[in-house]
Structure 1
Amino acid sequence: MLDPLLLLALMAVGMLAGFVDAIAGGGGMITVPALLSAGLPPVAALATNKMQSMVGTGMAVFTYWRRGFVALRDLLPAIALTFAGSLLGALAVSNVDVTLLNVAVPVALIGIALYFLFAPKLSDADRAARLPFGPFVPLMGFAIGFYDGLFGPGTGAFFTMGFVVLFGLGITRATGSTKALNFTSNLAALVIFIPGGHVVWPVAIVMAIGQLIGGYVGARTGIRYGVKIIRPLVVVVSIAMALKLLFFP
């Protein structure tokens, strides 16, 4: 029987993570250590994290969509290929050596942080795309989805960077679209985790309640303040994830 105070604390953790994740991604940096500290085995912590995180991400997607910042119809091919890529990545994880990613991913995240910190033209306005949206967003979805199933950290930052740099979306629209594909990649992982019995449901449910609140408030905050809050949070979260991967793998 889980301690009610522990469950209440985990709900608060879910709320904070949902808020941060709805704006800049990286909520797993908050929730996974909390779940491990609560005594969950690593696989159960990862599975439970995916479950509760998906709820918060879903709320964020719904909020961005309701406010006109996510074109779900345009994203349907990318959603399908993100799901397929994430599922393949999760199935391949036991057969692939990800040691190189422990160095490559932090370097990439620091690069993303530097871009968002110093790029002078970042705004909420859309710009000219470098690549056609229709054929290339699904390819990006598949590639990053595969990475998320295989390894995971920084997935949201990579999606946001792709939408801004390659497809010219303003930061708020890029964030909303990122949440839609992040939700999809989390769902694909749960296709494997749930039948395996790895999700600790009492913990997932209370944290999901926190995620619903945090995801809604975070998405509303991102929509209200746009580039003013999304830009610095992406920088902070990207650097924090890079440091964690380098020094606390």
Structure 2
Amino acid sequence: MTPEIWLLAGGAFAAGLIDAVVGGGGLIQVPLLLAVFPNTPIALLFGTNKLASIVGTGGASWQYARSLDVPWKLAMPAALAALPGSGLGAAAVSFLPPASVRPLVFVLLLVVGLYTWLKPDFGHLQGHGRIQRHRGWVAALLGFALGFYDGFFGPGTGSFLIFGMVALFGLDMLHASASAKFVNVATNLAALIYFASTGSVLWQVGLIMAVANFAGGQVGAHLSLKHGSRFVRVALLVIVGILLAKIGRDLLVT
């Protein structure tokens, strides 16, 4: 393999590891693809990113399902609703530029980060969430809304999912992260179907990255299962901080 492919494989491994814990692997994979293929249409690179991501996220989801008592009554409605939500979000891009939501996303991420940081025990233990009735329907609404967001804009989807699962349903960070993985699989699947149907996937590159992403996802899931909710909390704060820095820079530049 060429040095560029090795670089992409290494980045995909790191992205898979991060995605398996709190999401945010696209922060690594997409810039790397843009750097290695600067003259390639952006849709091809996004489709390739989704191919690698869905394999890694799917593998991490499988490992969580084997090792944890996943709250399926919350995870499944959220994942199923995220599928159409992601498709509608992708369709909405033609009506409203995604960059227009950057200020709102910045504020929401700041709230998530500050709340998680100022409450050290937030998501540390399973407890009673705010929602006690119709939890499946509320989970579906959360999945649909964040699926739409993921299809429309994307950054921070995993962080918002984990925060929502903890705040609304009282899950600990580890179980919230596991549940979020199944929603991520659904949103990645919807996006991949769209990109593949339009021929916007570099299959050879994407499959190499998918293998590396899968390996990274297995390591990330293992670390989360071994170190528990406090590890996920720290990773969440790091990713939210990076996202705030990136979106803040984009706001200043534009």
What TM-score bracket applies, with the shorter chain setting the length? over 0.9
1:71 maps to a residue whose letter is P
Q: 5+ unaligned residues in a row in structure 2: which ranges?
A: none
Following TM superposition, by how much is the alpha carbon of 1:186 offset from its aligned partner in structure 2, in angstroms? 0.8
Q: Deviations over 1:104-160 (max 9, x none)?
A: 112211221112212132244211021132220001001110111111111001100
2:92–2:152 contact (8 Å) kept in structure 1: yes
* Alignment partner of 2:187 out of 172, 175, 185: 185
Task: Provide the alpha-carbon RMSD of the alignment.
Answer: 1.5
1:12–1:210 contact (8 Å) kept in structure 2: yes
SS at 2:93 equivalent: helix
Partner residue in 2 for 1:213: 215
2:75–2:180 contact (8 Å) kept in structure 1: no
1:17 maps to a residue whose letter is A
Partner residue in 1 for 2:14: 16
Comparing 92-101 with 41-50, greater Cα deviation is found at 92-101
SS at 1:194 equivalent: helix
* Alignment partner of 1:228 out of 227, 230, 244: 230
Identity %: 37
Following TM superposition, by how much is the alpha carbon of 1:246 offset from its aligned partner in structure 2, in angstroms? 2.0
**Count of equivalent residues:** 247
* Alignment partner of 1:6 out of 4, 7, 15: 4
1:26–1:154 contact (8 Å) kept in structure 2: yes
Is residue 167 of structure 2 the alignment partner of residue 170 of structure 1? no
Partner residue in 2 for 1:86: 86
Partner residue in 1 for 2:161: 159
* TM-score, with structure 1 as normaliser: 0.94
CA distance in 2, matches of 1:219, 1:124: 17
* TM-score, with structure 2 as normaliser: 0.92
Partner residue in 2 for 1:127: 127
